[in-house]
Chains A and B, each alone.
Chain A
Amino acid sequence: MMGADETPKYKVIGRAVPRHDARDKVFGQTKYADDFVMPGTLTAKVLRSRYAAAKIVSIDTSKAEAMPGVRAVLTAADVPHNETTSKFGQTHSAGGGFEGLYRVLADKKVRYMGEGVALVAAETLAQAEEAARAIDVVYEPQPGVFDPVEALKPGAYRVGEEDTNVVCTYKVKKGDADAGFAQADVVVEGEYRVPFGDHVYLEPESGTAWIAEDGVLTIRASTQVIEHFRDIADIMGLPHNRVRVIAPMLGGGFGGKEDITVEAYLALLAHATKQPVRLTYTREESILAHSKRHPYVMRYKTGATKDGKLVAMEAEIVSDAGGYPFLSPWVLLYSVVMAAGPYIVPNVKVDAVSALTNNTFTSAYRGFGAPQVCFAYESQMDALAEKLGLTPLEFRMRNYLHTGDELGTGYALESAVLTDQTAERAWEALGEPTQPRSPDEVIGRGIASGMQSYGRLVYLHDSSRAYVGFELDGTVVVRSGVQDIGGGQASSIAQISAEILGVPMDDITVYFGDTALTPLAGTTTATRMLYMSGNATLKAARTVREAIVAKASEMLEVDSEQIDLADRMVRVEGEEEKSIPIVDVVKACASQGIPISNLAQFNAPSRDLEKSDYVIGQIHPDYTFGTHAAEVAVDTKTGKVTVLKLVAAFDVGQTINKLSAQGQLEGGTVCGVGYALLEDVKMDQGRTVTCALDTYLVPTAADMPDVEPIMLESHGGMGPFGAKGIGEPASTSGAPAVTNAVADAIGIRLTELPLTPERILTALKEQNASSRQSVGERVGETA
């Protein structure tokens, strides 16, 4: 394995480079969505449904309209095209049910509590809030349905206007599962449940819209997808080139800003008032009314032979889509493709369905369907290992996928797969076991491996563009429509340009996230930004470099092979005295009409959706593999879990920025721990009861140990310089590493997340009540 420090062929790639945006952020200079005010800006408020399921009988806005300071009150009747299909920045329609109904404001029915019903713009927030309260909506409450399994039964309440609650179904079939189980010496079965999750980006949904001088509807908003500009134009009935979306630096996204949030509301109000309008959700609104991670019910059956080889896996998955489809089909598709995890399973059968309910809608969330199934398959792996008398590591080592092995869909992995190395490194890094601090405390260790795609579904024909060019003083400009959600997306393309063009990072300015001024780069989702825009930037920068090198070779009368660009200089190998500043070559090119800039496009591998009853073949461009390891202490008197050690070992392909890559691994791991132990959006008959951060708990610094990031570099990814994507993979296997450690500690496997003290105590009490071994003996056995 080659560490980043041992790759001398790169000047800045692989190094720990402080991010160019960090400076502005710590000095309080960065202007996030809500930090931007224009003269005469109005404030908006959304009136949201008080019911999860109801018919709207009538809406009377007359009282609200007459209130002081109120400039506009809008309902569905005021939306030019209230119903469109939901898109997520893709430039190719995949068909096959990937695009569902997008409704701006509820009119016929409300489908979830908090759904937008009317909009107000007023001079002050207080006036807007008061006017929203004065809108008289007459509802006819409906029974609703709040459980996806119930929603699928004949005669269930219909959430939408169609006569079925089914959003989509997927099947995967490889080999013959029944025949596989017939060969198995051990079989384990489990039913796993995972909850709704909230992203809790620190910055709530926010934006400002105005009509610019030239009449272009302009929206500056916290979004992961500036290419919703097309959807906003379709809603407004405007040509696509009359809507501009700008994404400033985001205060986090994690998938929650992949769907349209405030943009459509702002567009309508700015258009109606002809004044700038600002809308920022409260935290309560953000938790109540915006997308959640999908709760799943997963029934798994997994079989292995006595020599520790997996032979068959069957999974049934039910996903809760909430009130509207949004990304539910995509998320479920990811789940079925990755349902067997990073393992060779000769016989696979997966049946999955997503159902509408009257719960808050569910959509993208870091991991996009992979964390749910990872919790299930990694719990199964540990349960099987125990039955086989193998350690969790040894059992996994016998079954990991390698390059050339086939997934359940029949796609054979093409790129590097180092899962076995990540597992060994992660386990080893746990070091010496921690001793219990009290007689009530038991210690446990767990590992979990995961696989996660990077890049979007191949059906989407994904592409990205970037412009790279020299200015006449030798500085560099990069223009790319990336949305920077905090992962260093803009900084990483600066670093790639610095590497290729031989200039320091400080000489590079990145203009990003503006549909009018930066080439469209696609979405900051699907762990695709480094992969896609990194490649587009690399392509553009290399073209510029070629022009500079060719001109320099002519000017210096040396072979172009001898030339390198470094430290703002054209260096000639073996003839250092001939070195000249790059800027001299830039000026010469400019004088002679030789382009010193380039706009490049990178296209991901793509293909069309086939007509088949099964999900088959290649679904994603590539996958990232890694392993988490955890050590926990469980207090058997209180049920409290303390995480003592966390390790994240991943094949990142090639590190671009060491600090950013470590940051992704560390942050992703902690999100996984939150999923395992704390996070749970509780809904009661569609009413969210955890609408604040004192009831929806996320990890604090005091809850977490240090995370040890271990980065392996296979150089075998599809990103720039062989990089793989790590934003989402870093989180996926975090939760099962912790839950496997808890199972190791207490000798009981809990199958529903999160593992709250209450659930752990209940399980311990049940265990004590039964005549089985005591906790102490169990732990004694495993120690």
Chain B
Amino acid sequence: MDMQEIEIQVNGRPMRTTVAVDETLVDVLRNKLGIVEVKNGCGQGDCGACTVLLDGEAVNSCLTLAVQADGRQVTTTRGLGTAEDPHPLQTAFIEHGAVQCGFCSSGMILAAASLLQQNATPTRDEIREGISGNLCRCTGYTKIVDAIEEAAQAEVLEERSA
């Protein structure tokens, strides 16, 4: 198998590794770079647990080859915000009880972040459509939609006051 050296900016930090050309981004992130907050739920692009932002756009990292990420920015939930400086989506997910087992949360929050970049004031139906590629088996989605709706409002308010 052909190997290739790649450099990915993961949450703003350059990381270099050698990968096989058919290796998926999720496997390289998790197994070679120790970026384990990215989850692998199905490996086939059906569940969305592996969602990351690639140059700001949400992708299933199990359907993305690692070599496609060469020279690009990968953002995970750790890059979006931290306990000290949380992203409004992360705060809203905690406050609304939108997190149960948490296995979908990382991908769900990134899918929501991508949605809010494209549509800063989505309706509840648009939110539901926007996260329909991300499965959650615990919450029934209601509290997730609540959280995203509130985070959108918080972001809009923040922009207005800025």
Q: List 26 A-B contacts (CB under 8 A).
A: A16-B97, A18-B94, A18-B97, A22-B99, A25-B102, A26-B105, A26-B106, A28-B37, A30-B102, A31-B36, A34-B40, A201-B103, A202-B41, A202-B135, A202-B137, A203-B103, A249-B102, A486-B102, A666-B141, A670-B141, A693-B135, A694-B46, A698-B137, A706-B124, A706-B145, A707-B140
Contacting residues of chain A (2-54) with chain B, CB-CB under 8 angstroms: 16, 18-19, 21-32, 34-35
- With beta carbons under 8 angstroms apart, the residue of B49, B77, B141, B143 that contacts A202 is B49
A283: chain B residues within 8 A (beta carbon)? 41-44, 46-47
Contacting residues of chain A (451-492) with chain B, CB-CB under 8 angstroms: 485-488
A519 within 8 A of partner (CB): no
- With beta carbons under 8 angstroms apart, the residue of A35, A200, A485, A707 that contacts B135 is A200
A192 within 8 A of partner (CB): no
Segment with Cβ contacts to B, from A403-411, A541-549, A656-664:
A656-664
**Binary contact track A434-451/B, C-beta < 8 Å → 1, others 0:** 000000000000000000
Q: 4 closest pairs, A vs B, by CB?
A: A486-B101, A28-B37, A25-B102, A251-B103
Are B39 and A251 in touch, CB under 8 angstroms?
yes
Considering only CB atoms, which chain B residue lies closest to A286 in the complex? B42
A671 within 8 A of partner (CB): yes
Provide the bound-state CA to CA distance between A701 and B97, in Å. Answer: 16
Considering only CB atoms, which chain B residue lies closest to A670 in the complex? B140
Are B44 and A692 in touch, CB under 8 angstroms?
yes
A592: chain B residues within 8 A (beta carbon)? none
- With beta carbons under 8 angstroms apart, the residue of B43, B76, B124 that contacts A28 is B76
A28: chain B residues within 8 A (beta carbon)? 37, 76-78, 106
Are A666 and B142 in touch, CB under 8 angstroms?
yes
B122 within 8 A of partner (CB): no
Contacting residues of chain B (111-134) with chain A, CB-CB under 8 angstroms: 124, 127-129, 131-134
Q: How far in angstroms is the closest Cβ of chain A from B138?
A: 5
Provide the bound-state CA to CA distance between A204 and B133, in Å. Answer: 18
A700 within 8 A of partner (CB): yes
Provide the bound-state CA to CA distance between A359 and B106, in Å. Answer: 35
B25 within 8 A of partner (CB): no
A783 within 8 A of partner (CB): no
Given contact pairs A26-B93, A204-B41, A660-B97, A671 touches B137 in the complex (Cβ within 8 A): yes
Given contact pairs A487-B100, A667-B140, A27 touches B41 in the complex (Cβ within 8 A): no
Provide the bound-state CA to CA distance between A279 and B121, in Å. Answer: 43
Are A22 and B93 in touch, CB under 8 angstroms?
yes
Are B97 and A663 in touch, CB under 8 angstroms?
yes
B66 within 8 A of partner (CB): no
A707: chain B residues within 8 A (beta carbon)? 140, 142
Provide the bound-state CA to CA distance between A25 and B147, in Å. Answer: 15
Q: How far in angstroms is the closest Cβ of chain B from A93?
A: 32
Q: How far in angstroms is the closest Cβ of chain A from B108?
A: 9
Provide the bound-state CA to CA distance between A28 and B76, in Å. Answer: 8
A30: chain B residues within 8 A (beta carbon)? 102
Provide the bound-state CA to CA distance between A24 and B133, in Å. Answer: 23
A768 within 8 A of partner (CB): no
Considering only CB atoms, which chain B residue lies closest to A32 in the complex? B103
A740: chain B residues within 8 A (beta carbon)? none
Are A249 and B101 in touch, CB under 8 angstroms?
yes
Provide the bound-state CA to CA distance between A721 and B124, in Å. Answer: 36
Are B44 and A22 in touch, CB under 8 angstroms?
no
Query: Other than the known A203-B41, A692-B42, A699-B141, what 12 A-B pairs have Cβ atoms closer than 8 Å?
Result: A26-B77, A27-B82, A27-B90, A32-B103, A34-B40, A663-B138, A694-B46, A698-B135, A698-B137, A700-B132, A700-B135, A706-B124
B74 within 8 A of partner (CB): no
**Binary contact track B126-162/A, C-beta < 8 Å → 1, others 0:** 0111011111111111111100000000000000000
A250 within 8 A of partner (CB): yes
Are A251 and B101 in touch, CB under 8 angstroms?
yes
Considering only CB atoms, which chain B residue lies closest to A201 in the complex? B137
- With beta carbons under 8 angstroms apart, the residue of B94, B124, B144 that contacts A22 is B94
- With beta carbons under 8 angstroms apart, the residue of B76, B90, B101, B131 that contacts A701 is B131
Considering only CB atoms, which chain B residue lies closest to A695 in the complex? B46
Total contacting residues, chain A, CB less than 8 A: 56
Provide the bound-state CA to CA distance between A26 and B80, in Å. Answer: 10
B109 within 8 A of partner (CB): yes
Are A701 and B132 in touch, CB under 8 angstroms?
yes
B99: chain A residues within 8 A (beta carbon)? 19, 21-22, 25-26
- Measured CB to CB, the residues of B under 8 A from A are 30, 36-37, 39-44, 46-47, 49, 76-78, 81-83, 86, 90, 93-97, 99-106, 109, 124, 127-129, 131-145
Are B46 and A701 in touch, CB under 8 angstroms?
no
B86: chain A residues within 8 A (beta carbon)? 26-27
Are B101 and A27 in touch, CB under 8 angstroms?
no
Q: How far in angstroms is the closest Cβ of chain A from B115?
A: 11
A254 within 8 A of partner (CB): yes
Q: How far in angstroms is the closest Cβ of chain A from B3?
A: 13
B94: chain A residues within 8 A (beta carbon)? 18-19, 22-23, 26
A666: chain B residues within 8 A (beta carbon)? 139-143
Given contact pairs A203-B41, A283-B43, A692-B44, A702 touches B132 in the complex (Cβ within 8 A): yes
Are B136 and A27 in touch, CB under 8 angstroms?
no
Contacting residues of chain A (230-257) with chain B, CB-CB under 8 angstroms: 249-252, 254
A515 within 8 A of partner (CB): no
Provide the bound-state CA to CA distance between A282 and B135, in Å. Answer: 17
Are A202 and B97 in touch, CB under 8 angstroms?
no
Considering only CB atoms, which chain B residue lies closest to A667 in the complex? B140
A550 within 8 A of partner (CB): no
Are B144 and A701 in touch, CB under 8 angstroms?
yes
A669 within 8 A of partner (CB): yes
B128: chain A residues within 8 A (beta carbon)? 701-702, 704
Considering only CB atoms, which chain A residue lies closest to B81 in the complex? A27
Given contact pairs A23-B83, A662-B143, A702-B132, A252 touches B137 in the complex (Cβ within 8 A): yes
Q: How far in angstroms is the closest Cβ of chain A from B117?
A: 18
Are B140 and A668 in touch, CB under 8 angstroms?
yes
Are B82 and A667 in touch, CB under 8 angstroms?
no
Provide the bound-state CA to CA distance between A95 and B127, in Å. Answer: 52
Provide the bound-state CA to CA distance between A474 and B78, in Å. Answer: 32
Provide the bound-state CA to CA distance between A598 and B133, in Å. Answer: 47
Provide the bound-state CA to CA distance between A24 and B82, in Å. Answer: 10
B135: chain A residues within 8 A (beta carbon)? 200, 202, 693, 698, 700
Provide the bound-state CA to CA distance between A35 and B37, in Å. Answer: 8
Are B140 and A704 in touch, CB under 8 angstroms?
yes
Are A27 and B78 in touch, CB under 8 angstroms?
yes
Given contact pairs A667-B138, A669-B140, A700-B132, A22 touches B102 in the complex (Cβ within 8 A): yes
Provide the bound-state CA to CA distance between A536 and B17, in Å. Answer: 50
Provide the bound-state CA to CA distance between A702 and B101, in Å. Answer: 21
Q: How far in angstroms is the closest Cβ of chain A from B53?
A: 13
Considering only CB atoms, which chain A residue lies closest to B130 in the complex? A701
**Binary contact track A638-670/B, C-beta < 8 Å → 1, others 0:** 000000000000000000000110110011111
Provide the bound-state CA to CA distance between A24 and B101, in Å. Answer: 11
Q: How far in angstroms is the closest Cβ of chain B from A367?
A: 14
B42: chain A residues within 8 A (beta carbon)? 283, 692-693
B40: chain A residues within 8 A (beta carbon)? 34
A699: chain B residues within 8 A (beta carbon)? 141
Are A25 and B105 in touch, CB under 8 angstroms?
yes
B124: chain A residues within 8 A (beta carbon)? 706
Given contact pairs A26-B99, A663-B97, A35 touches B137 in the complex (Cβ within 8 A): no
Provide the bound-state CA to CA distance between A223 and B25, in Å. Answer: 28
A204: chain B residues within 8 A (beta carbon)? 41
B97: chain A residues within 8 A (beta carbon)? 16, 18-19, 22, 659-660, 662-663
